[in-house]
Amino acid sequence: MAMAIANDKVEEFRKGIRGPVILPGDPDFDEVRQVWNGMIDRKPPMIVRCTGNADVIAAVGFARENGLPVSVRGGGHSAAGSAVSDDALMIDLSLMNGVHVDPKNRTARAQGGAKWGDFDRETQVYGLASTGGVVSTTGVGGLTLGGGIGWLMGKHGLSVDNMLSADVVLASGELVTASETENPDLFWALRGGSGNFGIVTSFEFRVHPVGPMVTGGLAAWPLSMARECLDFYAEFTSKASDEMGSFMGFTGAPDGSGNLIVVFIGCHTGTPEAAAAELKAVKEFGPPILDLLGPIPYTAMQSILDNPARAQVYWKSTFLKEFTPETRDVIAQSARNLPTPLSMLLLEHFHGAMSKVPADATAFSDRDAAFNVAIVGTTLDPAENDQCRTWARQVTEDLKPFSTGGVYVNYLGVGDDESRVPEAFGGNYQRLQELKQKYDPQNLFRANQNIKPAGT
């Protein structure tokens, strides 16, 4: 139950805000409070839809003065639904979604409420891109602050590896710039430390020549070939070029039949000839029952995993240290037990540029993992939530012997993953706690995958 805020305080606050201030009971409250994950049904005491830095500063000040924690909505796509909380003032950045590209200097600046679809639309005008989410409705802010896994990470590193600077509203209300030369300790923390250190209202990225056409898409095999497909994928990824980004997943067939399939999803940003040569093995293995690999617009590749909003999603994950036959046995069996056709078990291959960055160079530390595994129980029927949870928890437990012990902070799911936050940062956790103490000692930004200030 959301706590109430005195009307006179709200009315006084409204006078200094350009964007809408929405309270429980207002006509658009239920629509605006919704996030992507339909499992989340939280009712904040107030929503502030900011239009610029001044609104964000004012909203942070109001929360601080009234003893309210803050939740931040960028794209609203987080697995845990941390954009909204029952007891936190919700600062909604979705109206701040502009993207500006500087093609001469190969940089792009995105506001804190932009989604990767917005970013790609603008950068692709110039045939440029930066590593971003593989779902177009994912927020630039949330994905980047947690690390930023995407198709381009083998060639160009994670999103955080391409981040050049950020404009940040701190818990104190101060607006600062973080970069390698300005507030470098804050810049380090933002690159993987999630939303713990302030509200980033603008991100500056390095962009690279990519597209407008790449070679990619997907191929699929029947689930009965799960183990053979995993063996093939182990061999394929062991030789993958930096230009080849690929995932292998287990989910329901796209025809709605309910049949379960194995899916290879890949994006190659090299020459068409090099891509064809590398993907030839995929096309010939099996052969696949579905082969949609070929020339594809980069913007289409970036939305190939888009999924229905408001589905019930229970998400867990783990990093794999190696891809042994024993690991593949567990994954194949887990895939056969998939609770619903909408659910997915997804292997994300780590290699190339993102793996060459030292573990302590950014807050994102798990650079030597072989794969990230996303374990996603999904249904449109809330009555199936329990079986999705049970399956995801069991898969996580079964994979523990093969895990690095780490977890991708952006894939920490609803509720029972809170204790795993230190695992998301490994050896960087203590330094992050110290920086949390410096920049947010009262833990105003705690409605998230929270790093507690040092000494608390």
For residue 292, being part of any structural domain is answered with: yes
Query: CA 399, 149, 205 angle in degrees (round to 5)?
Result: 160
Beta bridge partners of 345: 250, 375
For residue 407, being part of any structural domain is answered with: yes
Structure tokens at 210: 């990519």
pLDDT at 8: 84
Contacts of 23-32 with C-beta under 8 Å, sequence gap 24+, read 23/47, 32/92
In tens, the pLDDT along 371-402 reads 999 999 999 999 999 999 999 999 999 999 99
pLDDT at 414: 77
Structure tokens at 396: 């996580």
Residue of 219, 214, 211 lying closest to 296 (CA atoms): 214
Q: Which residue has the higher pLDDT, 5 or 340?
A: 340
**In which band, very low, low, confident or very high, does the pLDDT at 123 lie, cut at 50, 70 and 90?**
very high
For residue 178, being part of any structural domain is answered with: yes
Looking at the chain, the whole-number percentage of residues with pLDDT higher than 90 is 92
**In which band, very low, low, confident or very high, does the pLDDT at 79 lie, cut at 50, 70 and 90?**
confident
CATH number, residue 254:
3.40.462.20
Mean pLDDT of 423-447: 96
pLDDT at 1: 45
pLDDT at 96: 98
For residue 429, being part of any structural domain is answered with: no
For residue 456, being part of any structural domain is answered with: no
Helix, strand or coil for residue 117? Answer: helix
In tens, the pLDDT along 335-383 reads 999 999 999 999 999 999 999 999 999 999 999 999 999 999 999 999 9
Distance, CA of 368 to CA of 357 (rounded, Å): 9
Residue of 119, 28, 112 lying closest to 76 (CA atoms): 112
pLDDT at 307: 80
For residue 439, being part of any structural domain is answered with: no
pLDDT at 2: 52
Residue length of the chain: 456
pLDDT at 111: 98
CATH number, residue 27:
3.30.43.10
For residue 452, being part of any structural domain is answered with: no
Mean pLDDT of 77-101: 95
39 and 21 share one domain? yes
Name the domain count of the chain. 3
271 and 321 share one domain? yes
What torsion do the CA atoms of 424, 428, 432, 433 make, to the nearest 10 degrees?
Answer: 90
312 and 227 share one domain? yes
By the 8 A CB rule, do 126 and 323 touch? no
Tally of CB atoms within 10 A around 368: 12
229 and 346 share one domain? yes
Tally of CB atoms within 10 A around 142: 27
Domain range for 241: 213-419
For residue 442, being part of any structural domain is answered with: no
Q: Which of 181, 210, 239 is the last residue of a domain?
A: 210
Residue in the structure block whose two tokens are 């939305």:
303
